[in-house]
Amino acid sequence: MTTGYLYHEIFGWHDTGTHAGLFPSNPLAGLQPLQHFENAETKRRLHELVVVSGLIDQLTRLAPRKATEEELLRVHTVEHVERIKAESLLPKGGDAGDGLSPFGAGGYDIALLAAGGVITAVDAVLDGVVDNAYALIRPPGHHAIAGMGMGFCIFSNLAIAAKHAQQARGVERIAVLDWDVHHGNGTQAAFYDDPNVLTISLHQDNVFPPGSGRIEERGEGAAVGTALNIPLPPGTGDGGYLHAMNEVVVPAIDAFAPDLILVASGFDASAMDPLARQMVTSEGFRSLTSRIMEVATRHCGGKIAMSHEGGYNPVYVPFCGLAVLEQLSGATPFTDPILPIPAGFAGQDLQPHQAELVAAVRQAAGLS
Ligand code: 3YP
Ligand code: ZN
Catalytic residue among 14, 76, 142, 143: 143
Is 186 in contact with 156 (CB distance < 8 Å)? yes
- Give the E-state strand segments of 1-79 in sequence order: 3-6, 18-19, 34-35, 60-62
Residue 1's pLDDT is what? 82
Give the chain's length: 368
**Which residues, other chains included, contact 105 with Cβ-Cβ below 8 Å and sequence gap of 6+?**
15, 88, 89, 90, 91, 92, 93
Q: Report pLDDT for 136.
A: 99
Top mutation candidate among 38, 142, 143, 178 for ligand 1, by most atoms within 8 Å of CB: 143
User: Ligand 1, atom 4: nearest CA belongs to which residue?
Assistant: 208
Ligand 1 atom closest to the CA of 276, numbered from 1: 4
pLDDT digits (tens, 9 = 90+) for 259-292: 999 999 999 999 999 999 999 999 999 999 999 9
pLDDT band of residue 73 (cuts 50, 70, 90) is: very high
- Global confidence as pTM: 0.99
- What is the residue type of 240? G
Task: Kindly report the backbone phi and psi dihedral angles of residue 337, in degrees, each rounded to the nearest multiple of 5, phi listed first.
Answer: -70, -15
Q: What is the mean pLDDT of the chain?
A: 98
Using the mean position of ligand 1's atoms as its centre, give its distance from the Cα of residue 309 in Å: 10
Ligand nearest to the CA of 187: 1
What spacing in Å lies between the alpha carbon of 331 and ligand 1's midpoint?
A: 31
- Residues with Cβ within 8 Å of 331's Cβ and at least 6 positions away in sequence, in order, are 55, 58, 325
Q: 209-241, pLDDT tens digit by residue?
A: 999 999 999 999 999 999 999 999 999 999 999
Active site residue 143: yes
Burial class (CB in 10 A: 0-12, 13-18, 19+), 302: middle
Residue 208 CA to ligand 1 center (angstroms) comes to 6
Distance from C-alpha of 328 to C-alpha of 278, rounded to nearest angstrom:
23
